[in-house]
Amino acid sequence: MTMNAGKLSRAGMAAGSAALVLFLTTGCSTKRYVRSQAAPIVQQTNELDARTASDHRNIVDTDQRAQAGIARAQTAADNADQHAMVAGQSADKAKANAQDAYNRVDTLTGVVANLDNYKSVQDVSVTFGFDKSVLTASDKKTLDELATNLQSSKHYILELTGGTDSTGDAQYNYALSQKRADSVAYYLQSKYGIAPHKFYLVGIGKDQEVASNRTADGRKQNRRVQVRVLSNLQEETQTAQAGQ
């Protein structure tokens, strides 16, 4: 009985050892299996993290470049605006200087020396829209033709008489007629280099109508600047004789 019990005890121990070995072997195999299955997932996760980080850096870099580009574009726009403003100020200053040099008179009598020596050699008119002082394309064409004929002349003056129709306040119309005369003078001076001192500007407002203000066509004719070219024939003759 004791002998059999010893055998059973040894057998049980052997069985336990075998079970332990089997458990350990199975456990190691399971771990290797888990590692073999988990490794690709870990690798994919790492690759995904790397791509995510790279994409984030690219997005940040793109955003920074975009912001830098926007900043440069804004700077260029600001510089362009500043240059345009300076150019506009220069143009306004040049125009103001030219206008300051124009002769503003009520009449040429008593203002122009030896006026009797001057003779009207050309007379044209340009008209304006209601309450406007801006030259139209047709106006400019008329003035271009007049200026072309002046290219060979030297001893002349230009009498510019601005007028309005009968609509509105008298003082307002005086100012408007002057603005219209200024527009004509500045166009001729700036495009053809006619010296400002050659211009004599007369603003008569609605005082002298050239057509009836009772009709639309008559009012249009009164919204005008009449340009008279007065040539000093005596000086022209003397110049011609000196050149012979």
Q: Domains in the chain: how many in total?
A: 2
Q: How far apart are CA 48 and CA 232, in angstroms?
A: 94
Please report the sign of the dihedral spanned by the C-alpha atoms of residue 27, residue 32, residue 37, residue 38.
positive
The residue among 208, 188, 198 whose CA lies nearest residue 159 is: 198
> What pLDDT, on a 0 to 100 scale, did the predictor assign at position 104?
94
Of 94, 116, 138, which residue is a domain's last?
94
Q: 75 with 167, same domain?
A: no
Given a contact cutoff of 8 angstroms between Cβ atoms, the answer to whether 211 and 221 are in contact is yes
> What pLDDT, on a 0 to 100 scale, did the predictor assign at position 40?
72
Of 74, 94, 114, which residue is a domain's last?
94
Q: Is 223 helix (H, G, I), strand (E, B) or coil?
A: coil
Look up residue 57 and give its two tokens. 């850096």
Given a contact cutoff of 8 angstroms between Cβ atoms, the answer to whether 209 and 166 are in contact is yes
Classify residue 194 as exposed, middle or buried by CB count within 10 Å of its CB (0-12, 13-18, 19+). Answer: middle
Q: Is residue 38 assigned to a domain?
A: yes
> What pLDDT, on a 0 to 100 scale, did the predictor assign at position 92?
53
Q: 179 with 149, same domain?
A: yes
Q: 81 with 159, same domain?
A: no
Q: pLDDT tens across 179-217, in order?
A: 999 999 999 999 999 999 999 999 999 999 999 999 999
Radius of gyration of the chain (CA): 49
Q: Is residue 231 assigned to a domain?
A: yes
Q: Is residue 135 assigned to a domain?
A: yes
pLDDT < 70: residue spans in the chain: 1-39, 42, 80-100, 236-244
Q: 36 with 155, same domain?
A: no
Q: CATH number of the domain that 207 lies in?
A: 3.30.1330.60
Q: pLDDT tens across 211-243, in order?
A: 999 999 999 999 999 999 999 977 766 666 666
Q: 41 with 124, same domain?
A: no
Q: 129 with 222, same domain?
A: yes
Q: Any idea what DSSP says for residue 106?
A: S
The residue among 142, 140, 226, 130 whose CA lies nearest residue 186 is: 140
Q: What's the whole-model pTM score?
A: 0.59
Q: 63 with 112, same domain?
A: no
Q: How far apart are CA 38 and CA 43, in angstroms?
A: 9
Of 94, 121, 136, which residue is a domain's last?
94
Q: How far apart are CA 16 and CA 184, in angstroms?
A: 121
> What pLDDT, on a 0 to 100 scale, did the predictor assign at position 91?
47
